[in-house]
Structure 1
Amino acid sequence: MIERLPATQGLRQLLATLTGRPVGLRTVPLNAQGQPVPPPYTILYPLDRADDTHTIADNQTAAVLDYQATFVSGPQPGVANSRGGDEQATWMADRGWKVVQRPADGSPGYAHPIDVGTGVACWKREAREAGGTDNAEDAIIASVIRYRLYLEKTA
């Protein structure tokens, strides 16, 4: 059976690298002092999992993992009356789309590697925009992308 935690950690790290901003797992990311960081940031939610390959000889060497990434904009710290906006949320989501970016030279695979654990490969990735949210009271606007990772044991 393929463990989910290494894949979750790998996707979380890739999103942090692509956006240059912190990524929280199911919650607002925290700084070194344990305090919530100000936006922009990403919140990653593990969703569905399927281990059945729908074959008679299924030996649980494959898994399909779904995730939701919420790219959160917000007021700029120290700037009075600033608000999160669509431009900031879209900028973050544009970087999130790079999870499924192919190499510019046409070679196989993906432009940005993802570490999904020892002895496991992510052979296919999918992404779809799932809308967004706004909260006028908090001056926050978010964009949402759902990812699907297809994993298979290699060893």
Structure 2
Amino acid sequence: MIERLPVTEGFQALLETLTGYPVGRRTVPLDDQGQPLPPPYTLLYPLDRADDDNTLADNGKAVVVDYQATFVSGPVPGETDSRGGDDQAQWLADRGWKVVERPADGSIGYAHTLNVGDGVDCWRREAREAGGTSDPNDAIITSVIRYRLYLAKTA
């Protein structure tokens, strides 16, 4: 069985690397003192899991997991009356699309490594934009991408 937590931790780390901003799992990311960080940040939600990759060769060693990443824009710290904007939300989402980016040289695999645990390989990644929301009262605008990861045990 492929455990979900190492996959989630690896995916969280990849998103943090690609965006350069913190990623919270199901909640706003916290600082070292346990206080909520101001946006911009990403919220990562583990969604569905299926222990069948729908292939004829399924040998019970594969799993398909879905995630939702909500890229949250926000006011610029120290700037009075600044607001999170569409440009910032789209910039974060553009970084999130790099999860499925292929190498520029045409080689196989993905441009950015996803570490999901020892003996587990992510052999396919999918992403689709799922919209976004805005809340003018909170000065926040979001973009949402849903990901599907196909994993298999290699050892």
Question: 1:29 Cα deviation (Å)?
Answer: 0.2
Instruction: Go from structure 1 to structure 2 and tell me whether the alpha carbon gap of 1:80 and 1:64 turns closer, same or farther (over 3 Å shift).
Output: same
Question: Deviation digits for residues 18-60 of structure 1, max 9, x if unmatched?
Answer: 0000000000000111111111000000000000244687542
Q: Residues of 2 paired with 1:53 and 1:120: CA distance?
A: 14
State TM-score, norm by structure 2: 0.96
2:116 is aligned with what amino acid?
V
Q: Residues of 1 paired with 2:57 and 2:14: CA distance?
A: 33
1:137 is aligned with what amino acid?
N
Any gaps of 5 or more consecutive residues in structure 2?
Answer: none
Q: Residue 138 of structure 1: SS of its match in structure 2?
A: coil
- CA contact under 8 A between 2:53 and 2:64: conserved in structure 1? no
- Corresponding residue for residue 2 of structure 2: 2
2:37 is aligned with what amino acid?
V
Instruction: Tell me how many residue pairs correspond in the alignment.
Output: 155
- Corresponding residue for residue 61 of structure 1: 61
Q: Residue 93 of structure 1: SS of its match in structure 2?
A: helix
Q: Residues of 2 paired with 1:81 and 1:66: CA distance?
A: 37
- Corresponding residue for residue 133 of structure 1: 133
- Corresponding residue for residue 81 of structure 1: 81
Q: Residues of 2 paired with 1:106 and 1:139: CA distance?
A: 41
1:116 is aligned with what amino acid?
V
Question: 1:15 Cα deviation (Å)?
Answer: 0.2
Question: Deviation digits for residues 94-142 of structure 1, max 9, x if unmatched?
Answer: 0000000000000000000000111000000000000001111100000
| Worse-superposed segment, 76-85 or 102-111 | 76-85
Write the mapping of 1:137-148 to structure 2, written as runs, cut at 5 A: 137-148=137-148
Question: Deviation digits for residues 69-106 of structure 1, max 9, x if unmatched?
Answer: 00000111221110000000000000000000000000
- Corresponding residue for residue 40 of structure 2: 40
Q: Residue 17 of structure 2: SS of its match in structure 1?
A: helix
Q: Residues of 1 paired with 2:53 and 2:88: CA distance?
A: 39
Q: Residues of 2 paired with 1:74 and 1:104: CA distance?
A: 32
- CA contact under 8 A between 2:101 and 2:112: conserved in structure 1? yes
State TM-score, norm by structure 1: 0.96
- CA contact under 8 A between 2:53 and 2:150: conserved in structure 1? no
Root-mean-square deviation (CA), in Å? 1.3
Instruction: Go from structure 1 to structure 2 and tell me whether the alpha carbon gap of 1:76 and 1:55 turns closer, same or farther (over 3 Å shift).
Output: closer
Any gaps of 5 or more consecutive residues in structure 1?
Answer: none
